Structure 1
Amino acid sequence: MASASTTPSTAATMGAKLIGVLENFSRPVKVTYEDRQSGEIFTERSGVSKPTECLFLADDGSLKWVAVNAGVFPGRWSWEDTSHLVFPPFPTGSWNVGQIGRLENGEVGFKQTLEKTLEGSENAWHPTKIDFAELELISQLKHESDPRVWQAKHPLFDDKMLLVKIGPWPVKWSKEGIEKETRVYQAIDGLGLAPEFLGHITYQGAVIGFILEWIEGAQTTMEEDQAARIEAVKKLHALGITHGCAHHLNFLKKGEDVLMVDFEEARFGDKATEKRKEEDIRRICDFEGDMSTNEVIEDEDDFAPQANYFFDNMVDDEINWSDDSEAARVSDCSRRESISG
């Protein structure tokens, strides 16, 4: 059960670093149109506004999921452009989910903080489990606002470099991606088809990710490695598993060996169909076009609503159209089209 509290702007604070942003598609637009009978111009707001979902790493090593209302920063922003954003101080206390908006005095601050539980993977087959807070995080490997893949160290491994992958978002696809990868690594453990699986990452008791060996000097495969990639993926198929994302960046060369990584789109058993196996091979053979699929192969589950169990109940009704450059642009464009039509 989540407990809510109101955070005054004078509360004690802690530092935190932004490490993840989910693209916000729940933004309304301002539509201007002309009544054809009266000629009067009307402006309406269309759509529901939801906060932008952010993930922060606090100074104490804890994770903070924070929803940022649209009216806090002008215009539309995403992970590609966050360096200019100035967030309010983070309150101390027992919370892990918060919402930033404009307070009654007009200042930007935390409107509420909550305590919620991140759901973890049920598959914890490896005996080694390490708490996320115990890791020494070196760098994010994708980009600065993708919190899933890290270089890290831990004393248990003599402070050698490790690859850590987590599923930190409170949505189905984040948890299921880790579950699929963990299941694949369990099935191929000891077969030399992937980097060595070294253990699970936990956070507040929940399994949220895993640790792989860091392969120093490994390179992604090139077109001339096609035969080795096909051989590797066929061994996976023989186990009743399809890769699902078999482009060349998901194969690493370790000496003469080719290893597979990134099994978030894997399918198993009856869902590892011949069509999916053919698509794995097709992507390997089409080096120039292997970053996308020829034909979308979906499961019924892929169309199920992706509920966010931290943020879905949060609404954002603070957007100030005069400060929102995108809304103004849409409005002007709509107005010109309606009048000219």
Structure 2
Amino acid sequence: MDSKPPSPEVLSMETSTRDDSYFRIRYNDKVKYVVVTRGTFNSDELCLPLYSLPPLPYDDDGWTVARVSRNPGSPQLQFVLENRPLQGVKEIWHPEQVDCLALKRVQRLTMNVSECTRKGQEAPQSTVIAKIARFEWEIPRIEQEGHVYRLLQDTDIGPQFLGHVVEQGRVIGFVLEKLHGKSASIEHRARCTEVLGRLHRLGLLHGDVNRHNFMVGDGWTKMIDFEKSKETQDEGLVKAELSSLSSELEDESGRGAGFL
């Protein structure tokens, strides 16, 4: 009996009825990208794209991006296949590289951050945090944050950087240790001031000091989410960030808490 062919799986999506929509799709051991031209599908069809897309040759290595559209006034879908290299992170400094398809999601934290286990390492203590660029326009933020983690190596200011995430030869993200702690509050002001001060003495501005970007545990305090961080010698920016800390630690709005 012939085995059933694999089914495509949507890994990431960014949809809009007023602009083009984008989909990152896994088929067996391949990842393909599909761009649906504005106006091709209605909102319901965009939410369930695999039922609406034409039968694309997902197993064909000869393309990376498919562009799907519809001629005005016609129900007939058409697509064009492109075989072009996709943008990836250029600053590759850690020796460990993790295949994105070897990561199994345990919990999604934000649109591009998840708790994951690695294939063959499903024990609870092996859970890691994976942050990826779902689409090419997110690569610069991943590149910037990876650069900051390089500067933070051996400082104990942030979680341990465990390696780069690779998708078909290009780096699209990274994996971090999972911190077993809780978000900071105003009672942790002294601890947060100390770790933020250490970051500033390295010549780095965090850029988003909301309370959820400070994690506290038994005897330790660390910072996370460095995608807005930058190198600076501007004392005014450093003082402004430090002076905002108390009000940020008192904030109970949930800003910065992801999907929580």
Give the TM-score band, short-chain normalised. Answer: 0.7 to 0.9
Mapped partners of 1:106, 1:13: distance in 2? 31
8 Å contact kept, 2:206–2:230:
yes
Partner of 2:80: 112
Q: Tell me, yes or no, if structure 1 residue 124 matches structure 2 residue 66.
A: no
Distance 2:7 2:144 in 1: 35
Contact persistence 1:192–1:259 (CA under 8 A) = yes
1:85 and 1:120, CA in 2 relative to 1: closer, same or farther beyond 3 A?
closer
The answer as to 2:219 corresponding to 1:256 is yes
Match status 1:165 vs 2:131: yes
Paired amino acid for 1:154 = R
SS in 1 for 2:158: coil
- The aligned counterpart of 2:109 is 141
Tell me, yes or no, if structure 1 residue 277 matches structure 2 residue 242: no
Partner SS for 1:91: coil
Rg larger in structure: 1
* 1:234 positional shift: 0.9
**Which residue of 150, 155, 168 maps to 2:114?**
150
Unaligned runs of 5+ residues in structure 1 are 1-11, 28-49, 293-341
Match of 2:160 in 1: 196
Counting aligned pairs with the same residue, the percent is 24
Task: Encode CA deviations 1:1-55: one digit per residue, 9 max, x unaligned.
Answer: xxxxxxxxxxx9952225231667xx4xxxxxxxxxxxxxxxxxxxxxx422x23
Cα distance change on mapping 1:241 and 1:74 into 2, 3 Å: same
SS of 1:286's equivalent in the other structure is helix
How well do the aligned residues superpose, as a CA RMSD in angstroms?
Answer: 3.1
Deviations 1:290-325 (A, max 9, x none): 959xxxxxxxxxxxxxxxxxxxxxxxxxxxxxxxxx
Q: Which amino acid aligns with 2:66?
A: G
Structure 1 residues 167-316: aligned runs within 5 Å: 167-171=133-137, 174-216=138-180, 218-268=181-231, 271-287=232-248, 288=251, 291=255
1:139 to 1:291, Cα distance in 2 relative to 1, 3 A: closer
1:98 corresponding residue in structure 2: 66
Superposition deviation, residue 114 in structure 1: 1.4
How far is the alpha carbon of 1:84 from its aligned partner?
8.8
Task: Report 1 or 2 for greater relative contact order, CA contacts < 8 Å, sequence distance ≥ 6.
Answer: 1
The number of equivalent residue pairs is 244
Shift of 1:75: 5.8
Q: Which residue of 2 aligns with 1:51?
A: 20
Contact 1:15–1:90 (CA<8 Å) still a contact in 2? no
Task: Using the TM superposition, name which of 154-163 and 238-247 deviates more.
Answer: 154-163
Q: Name 1:15's counterpart in structure 2.
A: 8
